[in-house]
């Protein structure tokens, strides 16, 4: 008896989630299809029912961050809190993105800072998924800055500060520097958000 369409969707999501976590922990080159499928509790043969290549899986793993990101998780944990002010939402994203909680949770780290060198060497599909994440984050900040002078440039600078702050924080073994890099990035991103 063939599997239902829902089963196929659920299985694909399981493979993508397994891949996202493994890629975050070990990088694209170090993770094999066999490892992804074993982590998902499936056989290698099942991989090709869902993906044509490891690059395609990588693109899906990067794109999946839009549904598994810590900001979405935080929102789900507080369902009665409605944030309809774009500036407040942008400020919350900056705070959460540069937080200790997110830095320490490798499985939930954003591909924008967890995987940049991998994506730069990857094929067009992963790069497109990564580009979509950048544009999505820029859009959140752009909406918050709507009508302000140089809004697009400010939004891109805010993305650069958040992602860059986390990239650098992840690379140092100095706890004080890790903290101050993120605090500086947060301070400057919030200043761009609030400055007229």
- Note whether 75 and 34 are same-domain residues: no
Asked whether residue 58 is domain-assigned, the answer is no
- Note whether 102 and 160 are same-domain residues: yes
- Dump pLDDT digits (tens) for 175-195: 999 999 999 999 999 999 987
- Note whether 100 and 133 are same-domain residues: yes
Q: What is the CATH number of the domain that holds 19?
A: 1.10.10.60
Per-residue pLDDT at 66: 65
- Dump pLDDT digits (tens) for 52-107: 999 899 889 888 876 544 455 555 555 555 567 888 888 988 998 899 988 888 87
Q: What is the CATH number of the domain that holds 151?
A: 1.10.357.10
Per-residue pLDDT at 68: 46
* 18/46 Cα distance (integer angstroms): 14
Mean pLDDT of 142-146: 91
Per-residue pLDDT at 1: 53
Query: How many other C-beta atoms lie within 10 A of the C-beta of residue 79?
Result: 7
- Note whether 77 and 116 are same-domain residues: yes
DSSP label at residue 28? T
In the chain, how many domains are there?
2
Mean pLDDT of 18-31: 88
Asked whether residue 59 is domain-assigned, the answer is no
Mean pLDDT of 114-141: 84
- Note whether 129 and 36 are same-domain residues: no
* 99/110 Cα distance (integer angstroms): 12
pLDDT band per the 50, 70, 90 thresholds, residue 2:
low
């Amino acid at each position: 008896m063939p599997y239902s369409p829902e089963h196929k969707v659920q299985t694909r999501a399981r493979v993508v989630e397994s891949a996202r976590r493994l890629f975050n922990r070990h990088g694209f080159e170090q993770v094999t299809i066999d490892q992804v499928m074993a982590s998902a509790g499936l056989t290698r043969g099942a991989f090709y029912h869902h993906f044509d290549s490891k690059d395609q899986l990588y693109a899906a793993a990067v794109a999946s961050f839009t549904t598994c990101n810590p900001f979405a998780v935080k929102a789900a944990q507080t369902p009665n809190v409605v944030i309809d002010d774009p500036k407040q939402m942008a400020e919350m994203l900056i705070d959460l993105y540069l937080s200790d909680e997110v830095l320490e949770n490798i499985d939930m780290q954003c591909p924008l800072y967890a995987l940049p060198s991998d994506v730069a060497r990857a094929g067009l599909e992963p790069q497109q998924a990564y580009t979509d994440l950048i544009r999505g984050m820029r859009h959140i900040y752009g909406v918050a800055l709507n009508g302000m002078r140089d809004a697009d440039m400010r939004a891109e600078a805010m993305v650069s500060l958040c992602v860059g702050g986390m990239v650098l924080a992840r690379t140092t073994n100095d706890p004080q520097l890790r903290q101050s890099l993120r605090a500086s990035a947060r301070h400057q991103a919030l200043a761009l958000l609030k400055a007229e």
